[in-house]
Every structure is written in structure tokens, then in C-alpha cells.
């Protein structure tokens, strides 16, 4: 029997969202509507390429290809085209119902008992809990806040064992908003090549780099850009592309052998992705719309980041963060007189008193993150400002009753 840890983040949000007036727990960019997507392409909602219109006459079978709609896979491939070594064809892509299932398929296909997996940490808990549940030995490659959540490749090398099967990355990173720079990625790939280790990167926040310019020499490319055969990436439209409501993600790799085993594993979970969802996804990733959507989301992220920074500056005696470089989340540490507060109680009380929903670091990301909370800032600026105003009121009125973290 596969033994999986409780998925604390989802459980926390699921059970508490109904009572929240202000949701700072979500980790996606402001959701888009189909009407908005259509307008981004300068089309009316009734225009012929509207996916809801074009699907009216389609038979609702599994679609023309189990691997995914050709138009969608072409548009996904185009996302990597600017990085020459990352360039892939539609045949290098398998679509999935979201990135979580894409991640599951990669682990299910490539990892099992007797394997050793090294996982960047902190990160999305699925990325270490799932390989452990499948019977692999997992080592956490820990980043330090004192080093701006950057990774030490020498430490990675010390973690490698004879049975190390996979190195798992999350770039950009959830929950910190940190990035793995281009030079560090290169060192990771070089090390993996020497040891013939598969490198898997969850790139769900890729392209939402709000605080580093594409012209910067350390701007992170996709893992695929290094041309390493034993590399595989996942992504979806849920976070960066504002479409969590359609369940479309993908797996991409240069390796036909990796794709073959992933496609076989996918057959045990789902035959195909919804035709309607895939057509909306293809519409969203059409080059003009995709660029306009990214312009919208990057602009919002940059503005909202300053709103959160202002809040932190105003409360600098009790909270701090390593300012995120990418993605719509940050990891904020709260303390009192230099001692970390009990982040779980802080989040419970903030919700009870002011209706503010946050994600506690210790409960959802690991015991070492006492006092941390994940704060999402991808929503509308108006909603974010209202949430932070309510959180500020809670701090003013009730912060002193929040217990300190146990030693």
C-alpha cells in the first residue's frame, strides 16, 4: 500500500476557505475569463475561434490524439522556442489535467523502491511526499533564508548516492518566490550528467519573473534549455496563465524514452484531457494572447509586490521576508521580540478575528519553518489591499495574544 502524507496545504485551504473574507492563501495569478481571453486577441466573444463556439459541433470523444490537441502542443512548444537548446516539437509534449497530475505521472513512471531522490527544499510538498510514498529514499536539499533561499551545488554533490535516480527542482519556487539562476541550473545539469541522474523541474511559475529582467545574465531559462537528454519539466495554465479553472498541464522532455514511460503511466490515470479545456488552453497560448496575458500578470505582480513590501516595511518590527523574484507568493516570517511566533495559531486567529486566510509554514511546509506564513499576492490590487488592511488590524488588536513557537 502506498503511504502518502496528508496534503496539508490543500486540506488547510479547503477546510478554511468558506469562512474567509480575505484570501491570501491562493498561489495563482488573477483568474481570467473566457471573454477576457477573447478580447486579448482582439476578437469578439462570438468570433469563430472562440473555443466554446467551435466545440458545439464537435463529437465529444477522446479527441484526435491521446497525447493532446495538436494546436495546443504547438503553442506549448512555442513557449520554449526562444531558448535554442530548449526547442522542442509538439511530439515532445504530453498534456495532462493540470500540473499536479503531471508531477504524479513523472514520479509514478520514473521512481520507485530502491531509488534515491534529492529534492530542493523548501518546495511544494507533493515534490518530496510523493516519491517517498512511492517507496523512494528522499533527501532534502535545503536552501537557507540567510542566503536568499539560494541553493548550494556543493551540498547537492554531497547528497548524491550510488542509487540516486532523480534531482527534483521547483523553479521559480513555491513558497518563497526565489529562483534558481541560470548559472546554478547549469552546474546542476553538469553534475547530473556526470552521474547520469534524471533532473525533473516543476516550472509551473515559469515566465512570471517580475523582479529580474530577461536581459539579466542570470535570468532562469527552462531546464530544457541545457539540452540534457535526461531532463523533464512540467507546467500548466493554472498559475502564471490565470486559468486554474481549466485543468490543463503538460510534461515535456527531449527524451523519447522518458515520454514513452510517462505516456504509459498516464494511461493508468486518465486517457485524455477534456477537449473543451484543451481548446481554451490553445486559445490562451496563441502567441498574441499569451503575450498580452503575461503583460497583464507581470504588471499586476510587480505592482502588488510593492503593496506587500509596503505592508512589511510598516511592520518591520515583527515581520520580514526575502523579497520574491518570481511568482505570486512570498514567505513571510513573523516574530515577537526576536522569537518566532506560532504560525499555525497566528493563521487560525487571523481567520477567526478578521477573516484573513494565510498558509502556515510549519504545518504546510515543514517543522523548520516556525513563524513563517505563505502569502499570495496574485489577486486584484483592490482585494490585496483590503486583505492587508484587515491583517494590519488583526496585528494591531490581537498580535500580542498569539503564542510564541515552541522551542
Q: Are residues 321 and 183 in the same domain?
A: no
pLDDT per position as a tens digit, 82-96: 776 667 999 999 999
For residue 87, being part of any structural domain is answered with yes
Percentage with pLDDT > 70 across the chain:
96
Residue 45 has what pLDDT? 40
Determine whether 189 is exposed, middle or buried from the number of CB atoms within 10 Å of its CB (0-12, 13-18, 19+): buried
What residues contact 14, with CB distance under 8 A and at least 6 apart?
A: none
Closest CA to 387 of 23, 20, 16, 15: 23
403 assigned to some structural domain: no
| E strand segments, 131-278 | 137-142, 164-170, 198-202, 231-236, 249-253
Question: 150 and 16: one domain?
Answer: no
Share of the chain above pLDDT 90, in %: 86
Give the CATH number for residue 73.
3.40.640.10
Q: Which three cell numbers stand for residue 203?
A: 516550472
What is the structure's pLDDT at 50? 64
Do 281 and 299 belong together in one domain? no
pLDDT, position 260: 97
Q: How confident is the model at residue 40 (pLDDT cuts 50, 70, 90)?
A: confident
Question: What pLDDT is stored for residue 86 in this prediction?
Answer: 67
Same domain, 180 and 328: no
78 part of a folded domain = yes
**Tell me: the pLDDT tens digits for 274-323?**
999 999 999 999 999 999 999 999 999 999 999 999 999 999 999 999 99
Domain harbouring 310, CATH code: 3.90.1150.10
Q: Higher pLDDT residue, 237 or 5?
A: 237
The pLDDT value recorded for residue 4 is 87
Question: Does the residue 170 lie in any domain?
Answer: yes
Looking at the structure, do residues 251 and 319 belong to the same domain, yes or no? no
What integer pLDDT is reported at residue 257 of this predicted model? 98
Q: What SS3 state is found at 42?
A: coil
Q: Does residue 185 share a domain with residue 125?
A: yes
- Report yes or no on 272 lying in a domain: yes
pLDDT at residue 145 tops 70? yes
27-41, 150-164, 210-224, 374-388: lowest mean pLDDT where? 27-41
Which one-letter DSSP state was computed for residue 317? T
Q: Do 335 and 273 lie in a common domain?
A: no
Are residues 242 and 368 both part of a single domain? Answer: no
DSSP annotation string for 121-149: ES--THHHHHHHHTT-EEEEEE-BGGGTT
Enclosing domain of residue 300: 8-33+290-394
Is there a domain that residue 132 lies in?
Answer: yes
Of the candidates 244, 264, 287, which is a domain's last residue?
287
Q: 3-state class of 40 per DSSP?
A: helix
Per-residue confidence (pLDDT) for residue 58, from 0 to 100: 79
* 3 occurs within a structural domain: no
Cell numbers given for 363: 504545518
Least confident of 118-127, 264-273, 364-373: 264-273
Supply the DSSP symbol for 150: B
Q: Is the pLDDT reported for residue 256 higher than 70?
A: yes
Query: In whole numbers, what is the pLDDT of the chain averaged over residues?
Result: 94
pLDDT bin (cut points 50, 70, 90) of residue 49 is low
Does any domain span residue 388? yes
Residues 256 and 208 in one domain: yes
Q: How many domains does the chain have?
A: 2
* Residue that is last in its domain, among 287, 313, 346: 287
43 pLDDT higher than 80 = no
Model pLDDT for residues 375-393, shown as the tens digit of each residue: 999 999 999 999 999 999 9
Domain endpoint, select from 266, 287, 308: 287
- Residues 199-241 have pLDDT tens digits of 999 999 999 999 999 999 999 999 999 999 999 999 999 999 9
- Rounded to whole angstroms, the Cα distance separating 99 from 200 reads 13
| Residue 51, pLDDT score | 65
pLDDT digits (tens, 9 = 90+) for 320-344: 999 999 999 999 999 999 999 999 9
Amino acid at each position: 500500500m502506498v503511504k502518502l502524507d496528508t496534503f496539508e496545504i490543500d486540506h488547510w485551504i479547503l477546510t478554511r476557505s468558506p469562512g474567509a473574507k480575505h484570501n491570501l492563501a491562493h498561489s495563482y495569478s488573477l483568474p481570467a475569463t473566457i471573454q477576457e481571453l477573447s478580447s486579448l486577441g482582439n476578437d469578439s466573444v462570438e468570433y469563430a475561434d472562440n473555443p466554446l463556439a467551435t466545440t458545439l459541433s464537435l463529437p465529444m470523444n477522446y479527441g484526435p490524439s491521446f497525447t493532446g490537441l495538436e494546436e495546443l502542443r504547438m503553442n506549448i512548444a512555442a513557449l520554449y522556442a526562444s531558448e535554442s537548446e530548449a526547442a522542442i516539437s509538439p511530439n515532445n509534449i504530453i498534456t495532462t489535467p493540470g500540473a499536479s497530475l503531471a508531477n504524479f505521472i513523472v514520479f509514478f513512471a520514473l521512481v520507485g523502491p530502491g531509488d534515491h531522490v534529492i529534492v530542493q527544499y523548501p518546495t511544494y510538498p507533493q515534490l518530496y511526499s510523493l516519491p517517498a510514498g512511492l517507496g523512494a529514499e528522499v533527501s532534502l536539499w535545503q536552501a537557507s533564508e540567510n542566503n536568499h533561499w539560494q541553493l548550494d551545488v556543493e551540498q547537492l554533490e554531497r547528497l548524491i548516492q550510488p542509487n540516486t535516480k532523480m534531482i527534483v527542482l521547483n523553479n521559480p519556487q513555491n513558497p518563497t518566490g526565489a529562483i534558481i539562476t541560470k548559472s546554478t541550473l547549469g552546474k546542476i545539469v553538469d553534475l547530473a550528467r556526470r552521474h547520469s541522474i534524471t533532473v525533473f523541474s516543476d516550472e509551473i511559475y515559469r515566465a512570471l519573473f517580475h523582479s529580474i529582467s530577461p536581459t539579466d545574465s542570470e535570468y532562469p531559462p527552462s531546464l530544457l534549455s541545457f539540452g540534457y537528454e535526461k531532463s523533464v519539466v512540467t507546467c500548466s495554465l493554472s498559475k502564471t496563465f490565470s486559468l486554474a479553472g481549466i485543468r490543463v498541464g503538460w510534461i515535456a522532455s527531449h527524451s523519447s524514452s522518458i515520454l514513452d514511460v510517462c505516456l504509459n503511466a498516464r494511461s493508468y490515470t486518465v486517457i485524455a484531457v477534456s477537449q473543451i479545456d484543451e481548446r481554451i488552453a490553445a486559445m490562451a497560448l496563441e502567441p498574441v494572447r499569451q503575450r498580452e496575458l503575461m503583460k497583464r500578470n507581470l504588471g499586476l505582480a510587480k505592482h502588488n509586490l510593492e503593496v506587500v513590501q509596503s505592508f512589511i516595511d510598516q511592520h518591520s518590527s515583527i515581520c520580514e521576508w526575502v523579497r520574491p523574484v518570481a511568482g505570486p507568493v512570498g514567505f513571510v516570517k513573523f516574530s515577537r521580540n526576536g522569537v518566532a511566533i506560532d504560525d499555525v495559531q497566528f493563521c487560525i486567529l487571523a481567520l477567526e478575528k478578521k477573516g484573513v486566510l494565510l498558509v502556515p509554514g510549519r504545518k504546510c511546509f515543514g517543522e523548520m519553518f516556525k513563524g513563517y506564513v505563505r502569502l499570495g499576492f496574485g489577486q486584484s490590487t483592490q482585494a490585496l489591499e483590503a486583505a492587508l488592511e484587515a491583517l494590519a488590524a488583526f496585528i494591531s488588536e490581537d498580535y500580542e495574544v498569539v503564542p510564541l513557537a515552541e522551542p
